[in-house]
Structure 1
Amino acid sequence: MTLPLRTATRYVTPLREGGSMPAVVEADDDGLYVLKFRGAGQGPKALVAELIAGSLAKALHLPMPDLALMELDADLARTEGDPEIQDLIKASAGLNLAMDYLPGAVNFDPVAEQPDADLASRIVWFDAFISNVDRTARNTNLLMWHRRLYLIDHGASLYFHHGWDGDVSGAGKPFPLIRDHVLLRWASRLEDIDAAMAAHLPDAVMAGIVAEIPDAWLQGPDSFGDPPAQRAAYTDYLIRRLAQRDAFVQGAIHARA
């Protein structure tokens, strides 16, 4: 899989409900995208998590807006009157991450909507795999668009990599916070879908996803090695976690019980 490369041509509007203040931008293909800024408070590690998790979701055939790498020119800040937005654009000059904008989409309402057991189980399995702490009733990070559920915002997943030294010994740990997952009540087919989910993620697929991470996102004061070393560690972690998935699958089953 190779992510397309776009260039932001116009800042349209901020999405202030997001903690990292993403924005809707127009790109050189005339499309609208939700742009995640490298210079936002969570830093480039959030973009690494977004890229890995979003690409894994695609590989698992989960409903997810298409991703793209997005080049951002600091000169775009000149047309913005908000100093906070100006600073964010300037701090994010270079390569960022974007996803297709879904016009008219609304937040998933767990009271009004009831996803089927198969989809709910697949999403819960996926979020346990990527250690996603941010799919709760308070903040579902799910959208309804054309009567279909879509996954968004995975910057809080893979939380272990903040301050990471490359140690992958914890890859087989369960994910106890799955107990707070907004879809857990409907996820009654976790055992049934487990083997099929894992089959979509051979080693080569995960290595290919990690290979997409730009060097610029892997350089900073908290980096434990050069970009190739970090990519090798991410790939090793994902492969080991999948091989030892019984811990997080059974953890999710027990949490639901």
Structure 2
Amino acid sequence: MSLSTVTVTRYVTPLREGGSLPGIVEADDLGTYVCKFRGAGQGLRVLVAEVIVGALAERIGLQTPRQVVLDLGADIARYEADEEVQDLLRASIGLNLGIDFLPGAFGYDGDLAPHADVAARVLWLDAFCANVDRSWRNPNLLLWHDDLWVIDHGAALYFHHAWSGGVTDPDRFARQSWDASDHVLGSCRGGLPAADAEITASLTEADLADVVARVPDAWLEPVPGAETPADLRAAYVALLSARLATRQWLPMAGAA
């Protein structure tokens, strides 16, 4: 199922916590979104990772904000006084990623521990997708209505940033280990075997194909050997399927 597309009607304010300068915007569906801009320095593949990992989070029972495609017109930049923001808006005309804004949510700080099964699922997701950005320095977890929500998945699937020479070998990604020692929920590794058994009993290659299908064609940049959006989608599915078939990446309880 593809993401819905809505049109940005107003740029509200920047979020300066991260280097990519996401911003709060309003859209013609009356929604308020955190916009991840296509013109940010990290490039389009960050948006691809956001979509794939966000969809996987939903599939394995985690809470993550709804995503949309935000169509940004040139007129939005015209009324922005901040030159840095104006440059970013001009570089991002077209299709960007919108993350549903969760009013009143606050960052996870460890005081309200999530249920053990939720924590284990977050660990599983990050290990599977090779996410390197969920530490105490930057938890990328929100508490909203007493539930734990996972956000900001752009640092996952980092292998695709090295695709200048072609797509990563699926077997290489399948064997690649993942270090949980710096993870904000690393102490919950004891729940991983049960979470792994439950997730892998229901997650199929067809699910992975459906997840990857959410990525808009406009964000799938051609690489040698995978020049079309269909080729790129097939590559992502092959990589994720190969990893799902192995367990070298799953950190064991008691591992450093």
Instruction: Report if TM-score (shorter chain) is over 0.5.
Output: yes
Number of the residue aligned with 2:235: 233
Distance 1:5 1:21 in 2: 21
Secondary structure of 2:174's counterpart equals coil
**Letter of the structure 2 residue corresponding to residue 188 of structure 1:** G
**Letter of the structure 2 residue corresponding to residue 200 of structure 1:** S
Pair 1:152-2:151 in alignment: yes
**Letter of the structure 2 residue corresponding to residue 106 of structure 1:** F
The question of whether the paired residues in 2 share the 8 Å contact of 1:117 and 1:187 is answered with no
Following TM superposition, where does structure 1 have runs of at least 4 consecutive aligned residues deviating by more than 3 angstroms? 220-224
Per the TM alignment, residue 67 of structure 1 is displaced from its structure 2 partner at its CA by: 1.0
Distance 1:2 1:224 in 2: 21
Give the aligned CA root-mean-square deviation in angstroms: 1.7
Distance 1:69 1:151 in 2: 19
The question of whether the paired residues in 2 share the 8 Å contact of 1:179 and 1:252 is answered with no
Distance 1:209 1:149 in 2: 22
The question of whether the paired residues in 2 share the 8 Å contact of 1:117 and 1:188 is answered with no
Distance 2:7 2:252 in 1: 40
Distance 1:181 1:228, change over 3 A: same
> Bigger shift: 172-181 or 188-197?
172-181
Q: TM (normalized to structure 1)?
A: 0.93
**Letter of the structure 2 residue corresponding to residue 226 of structure 1:** T
Per the TM alignment, residue 60 of structure 1 is displaced from its structure 2 partner at its CA by: 1.0
The question of whether the paired residues in 1 share the 8 Å contact of 2:222 and 2:232 is answered with no
The equivalences for 1:1-12 within 5 A come to: 1-12=1-12
Pair 1:247-2:248 in alignment: yes
**Letter of the structure 2 residue corresponding to residue 232 of structure 1:** A
Give percent identity, aligned residues only. 50
Secondary structure of 2:242's counterpart equals helix
**Letter of the structure 2 residue corresponding to residue 145 of structure 1:** W
**Letter of the structure 1 residue corresponding to residue 120 of structure 2:** S
Distance 1:178 1:21, change over 3 A: same
**Letter of the structure 2 residue corresponding to residue 108 of structure 1:** Y
Per the TM alignment, residue 223 of structure 1 is displaced from its structure 2 partner at its CA by: 8.7
Number of the residue aligned with 2:175: 173
Distance 1:20 1:222, change over 3 A: farther
Secondary structure of 1:192's counterpart equals helix
Number of the residue aligned with 1:88: 88
Q: TM (normalized to structure 2)?
A: 0.93
The equivalences for 1:1-257 within 5 A come to: 1-110=1-110, 112-164=111-163, 165-166=166-167, 167-219=169-221, 224-244=226-246, 246-249=247-250, 251-255=251-255
Structure 1: state its 5+ residue gaps.
none
Distance 1:52 1:223, change over 3 A: farther
> Bigger shift: 226-235 or 76-85?
226-235
